[in-house]
Amino acid sequence: MGYATVKNSLCVLGLLALLQACSYSVIVSNKNGVAQPDPFRQELGFYNLKKVQDVKFINRLSLLQNSVMVIDSTCTEGFHSIEYKITFGDMLRNTITFGKRKAVRVRIVCIKPSNQ
């Protein structure tokens, strides 16, 4: 591999790492309630064996609107957790459209329904 190729690869890697660092997510979790289980969802971390619903869309706001509301009808007994995720691209889109095009990436886990 030539010196230039290595240099380019390193630059791309560096850029990717930078972009990755610009994305982040916050999970708001309920102190009470148990997550709805999903015996097939096996992954390292918070969502292991939990049933998740991913909500992803890009919303166009009118001049009078300044935020997005997501109405969820899947959780019958409330939210166990909600993760809001923002990526570098989302931030860029928000900035260049002066906040009028918002990407929404939300991951919801419902509370396991009780038998009442």
Told to check if 27 binds other proteins by CB under 8 A, we report yes
Written as one letter, the residue type at 46 is F
Which region among 35-43, 55-63, 65-73, 94-102 touches other proteins (by CB under 8 A)? 35-43
Closer to other proteins by Cβ: residue 88 or 101: 88
Query: Least distance in Å: CB of 46 to other proteins?
Result: 5
What pairing do the DSSP bridges indicate for beta strands 79-86 and 53-60?
unpaired
Told to check if 42 binds other proteins by CB under 8 A, we report yes
Buried-state track 33-52, b at ≥16 Cβ within 10 A, e below 16: bebbeeeeeeeeeebeebbb
Written as one letter, the residue type at 9 is S
Residue from 10, 14, 24, 91 touching other proteins (CB under 8 A): that is 24
Q: Is the CB of residue 111 less than 8 Å from the CB of residue 79?
A: yes
Told to check if 105 binds other proteins by CB under 8 A, we report no
Binding site for other proteins (CB under 8 A): 24-27, 29, 31-34, 37, 39-40, 42, 44-46, 48-49, 112-116
